[in-house]
Amino acid sequence: MEYKIAVVEGDGIGPEIIASAIAVMDAVGAKHNHKFEYDFVPAGGNSIDKYGVPLTDEALERCLRSDSVLLGAVGGPKWDTLPGHLRPERALLGIRKELGLFANIRPAKLNPVLKSACPLKDEIASRGFDMVIVRELTGGMYYGERGRRQGKGGEEAFDTECYSEAEIERIARVAFDIAAKRSKRVISVDKANVLESSRLWREVVHRAAKDYPEIAVSDMLVDNAAMQLIKNPAQFDVVVTSNMFGDILSDEASQITGSIGLLPSASLGEGTRGMYEPIHGSAPDIAGKDLANPIATILSVAMMFRLSFNLDKEADEIEAAVDAVLNAGYRTRDILDNATEPLGCKAMTQKIIEYLTRPLQRT
């Protein structure tokens, strides 16, 4: 098969981690006879330097013509003092909006061999965990009616949480589809004991679930979910929730894995096209030093293969190669334990490719 990927290298460590991702995609392409065509699209600080804006119309158009977008990271101190509409991060908002990306998918996985990086108690970290948080990205309080007015106690401010049945149903279906390829369990997180919008959320999630008889759906209140993530993260598999609850819970989940250098993410819209990126930023402090951990970006490629290209086997192989390399004790500096010597970004990438292509070499 042939796939056209819009590649945003971005700034800071962006070009280094994207080079790793491309090396992995090329290795998968050679192994499975796929052709990946890369269209390098300027966005972020480098686009500001060259064109005066974080995202040109032409760059956006090229993203829209791709099968999916792979992004490194944008931003850095050089552009920090620019006004909001000219900041590098605007590029991401522009791509998300134009591509209609309403679902944010964030896996949070702790391989027990990395338990020393996890801030939780040893007995909890030893069990490891492997969850995916599906966050609604374009509705709820962040987009609802807001304002200020005069009230009895002086000036008042309000933000409105509003969800339509259609918005809830489409995000629930994304979660069910993901769960169908995993353990077939979904926990829907809401605050239905207080919020009317959550009561509708719950009704619609369960109504939509009738089309997925193989998926077991349960509900959890958001305050309990925040506690359970710390107490027993291994109980979670797929979690679906609103924009604001997802914002908070996905950050909590990423922190308990210990390193942001390991975590990928995806944003999806109605069709198969998505945007895939590591959850970390451009790490200007280590840029150009071959110190970045490439795993979050490499795992973002695995997500793109599975969620946008339906290449499940290839995605499984990438994830298995990453696990095998970690299980064999190889580490980058950010996940180093005392016993090991760190690998640089390039050497780590080569190790992963070595494990990925191993079965082919034996035949």
- Asked if residue 278 lies in contact with residue 263, where contact means CB atoms within 8 angstroms, the answer is yes
> Residue 282, interface with ligand NAD (CB under 6 A)?
yes
Size of the chain in residues: 363
Smaller CB separation from ligand NAD, 88 or 311: 88
CB nearer to ligand NAD: give 42 or 261.
261
**What is the distance between the alpha carbons of residues 214 and 217, in angstroms, rounded to a whole number?**
10
283, 304, 311, 326: which one binds ligand NAD (CB under 6 A): 283
With CB under 6 A, what is the number of residues at the site for ligand NAD?
20
CB atoms within 10 A of CB 348: 26
Stretch of 72-80, 193-201, 215-223, 315-323 lying at the interface with ligand NAD (CB under 6 A): 72-80
**φ, ψ (nearest 5 deg) of residue 233:** -65, -20
Residue 89 binds ligand NAD (CB under 6 A)? yes
Closer residue to ligand NAD, CB minimum distance, 144 or 284: 284
Measured N-to-C along each axis, helices 14-32 and 345-362 cross at an angle, to the nearest 10 degrees, of 0
For residue 265, the minimal CB distance to ligand NAD (Å) is 9
Closest residue to ligand NAD: CB criterion: 281
In this complex, which beta carbon is closest to ligand NAD, that of residue 61 or of residue 285?
285
Candidates 103-111, 224-232, 235-243, 283-291: pick the segment binding ligand NAD (CB under 6 A). Answer: 283-291
Q: Which is nearer to ligand NAD, 14 or 217 (CB)?
A: 14
Contact partners, residue 317, CB within 8 Å, separation at least 6? 28, 31, 356
- Which of 46, 43, 267, 56 lies closest to 171, judged by CA? 267
Cα separation, 341 vs 351, whole angstroms: 14
Q: Does 179 bind ligand NAD (CB under 6 A)?
A: no
Instruction: Indicate the residue type of 344.
Output: G
Nearest distance in Å: CB 162, ligand NAD: 27
Alpha-carbon gap, residue 363 to 359, rounded angstroms: 7
When asked if residue 251 is in the footprint of ligand NAD (CB under 6 A), the reply is: no
Per the DSSP assignment, residues forming a β-bridge with 129 are 110
- How far is 256 from 313, CA to CA, in rounded Å? 28
For 189, the token pair is: 């997180």
* 289-318 positions binding ligand NAD, by CB under 6 A: 292-293, 296
* Active site residue ranges: 142, 191, 223, 247, 251
CB closer to ligand NAD, 17 vs 315: 17
Amino acid at residue number 92: L
Verify binding: residue 74, ligand NAD, rule CB under 6 A. yes
> Does 274 contact ligand NAD by CB under 6 A?
no
End-to-end CA, the chain: 23
Per CB under 6 A, which of residues 314..353 are in contact with ligand NAD? 334
Residues forming contacts to ligand NAD in the complex (CB under 6 A) are 73-76, 89, 92, 260-261, 277, 280-286, 292-293, 296, 334
